[in-house]
């Protein structure tokens, strides 16, 4: 099913027939697999340009590591890291930009600087005022599930419904249009064991009951390392495998570190899905 994801500054993305890849650009010293690699403005812009050339539709700029052991930074430090990068990238022709933040102030400043999307790993529940930013600006909004700092339900999908329905209620109360929202089940965020993440993959299709496009954010996560035996910088082939599996289960967007390998893997998955649809149409099913 085709649908449009409405973004800030009058932009949109068509979702449905082809996978959409969001390239991760961490401008942090301590992110788990690429901390410090893109700490200067020139390094960050060069990496963004490369990801766009490889096929990324969106660049997701983050200024604070969200790893479970990471030390939080101040809003001022986060803004010092991300805003110059967003301002520089906003001049690139056709680039769509996302800011990875849970802070209302950072989100508002980032959209003013040129960001089109707000990606909130706390699902509007850390700083609910961030919902007003999306409502006021028309920004696309990624609402992610997390199990951190709260009691979770034993059933992983029921916990998704519990958390995300509360997030969607916050969005509704703020006046955010449905067409602005994408949901992310938050692989690795308080899904402590490989089995927790695999169970979420197995049952991923159940999340379509929420009625919104779904993003998969498995890139280089620890559960992939547990399966493959590889350290974080060497988990891109494993990531691509999860991307294909989740594409076949209906995910439409993919947040990844290595754009090229995931673009290739998803091109095969998209071609298979297109052929499957064509054969079904020819057979009348």
Residues marked active site are found at: 221, 255
Torsion angle of alpha carbons 80, 82, 86, 87, nearest 10°? 0
The answer to whether 110 and 118 are in contact (CB under 8 A) is: yes
Mean pLDDT of 197-208: 98
DSSP at 214: B
- In the chain, the percentage of residues whose pLDDT exceeds 70 is 96
pLDDT of residue 140: 98
Q: What are the two backbone dihedrals, phi and then psi, of residue 256, each rounded to the nearest 5 degrees?
A: -140, 160
103: pLDDT strictly greater than 80: yes
**pTM of whole model > 0.85?**
yes
28: pLDDT strictly greater than 60: yes
Residue 141: strand, helix, or coil:
strand
CATH number for 113 = 3.20.20.20
**Sign, Cα dihedral of 252, 11, 6, 128:** positive
d(CA 132, CA 232): 35
d(CA 105, CA 271): 41
pLDDT of residue 37: 74
Strand partners, 23: 59, 256
Q: Which domain holds residue 271?
A: 3-283
Interior angle at CA 246, CA 186 and CA 2, nearest 5: 100
- Confidence class for position 31, pLDDT limits 50, 70, 90: low
Structural domain total, the chain: 1
Mean pLDDT of 50-56: 96
């Amino acid at each position: 099913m085709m649908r449009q994801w409405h973004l800030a500054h009058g932009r949109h993305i068509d979702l449905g027939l082809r996978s959409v890849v969001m390239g991760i650009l961490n401008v942090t010293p301590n992110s788990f697999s690429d901390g410090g690699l893109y700490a200067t403005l020139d390094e960050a812009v060069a990496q963004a340009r490369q990801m766009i050339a490889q096929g990324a539709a969106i660049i997701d700029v983050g200024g604070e590591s969200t790893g479970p052991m990471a030390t939080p930074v101040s809003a001022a430090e986060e803004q010092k890291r991300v805003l110059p990068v967003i301002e520089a990238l906003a001049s690139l022709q056709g680039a769509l930009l996302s800011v990875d933040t849970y802070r209302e102030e950072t989100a508002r400043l980032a959209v003013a600087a040129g960001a089109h999307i707000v990606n909130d790993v706390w699902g509007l529940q850390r700083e609910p005022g961030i919902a007003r930013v999306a409502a006021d600006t028309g920004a696309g909004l990624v609402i992610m599930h997390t199990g951190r700092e709260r009691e979770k339900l034993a059933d992983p999908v029921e916990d998704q419904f519990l958390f995300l329905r509360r997030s969607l209620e916050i969005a509704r109360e703020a006046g955010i249009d449905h067409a602005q929202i994408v949901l992310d089940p938050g692989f690795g965020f308080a899904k402590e064991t490989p089995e927790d993440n695999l169970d979420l993959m197995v049952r991923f299709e159940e999340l379509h009951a929420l009625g919104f496009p779904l993003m998969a954010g498995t890139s280089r996560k620890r559960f992939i390392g547990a399966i493959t035996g590889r350290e974080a910088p060497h988990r891109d082939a494993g990531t691509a495998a999860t991307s294909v599996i989740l594409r076949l289960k209906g995910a439409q967007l993919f947040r990844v570190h290595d754009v090229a390998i995931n673009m290739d893997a998803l091109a095969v998955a998209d071609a298979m899905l297109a052929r499957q649809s064509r054969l079904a149409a020819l057979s009348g099913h």
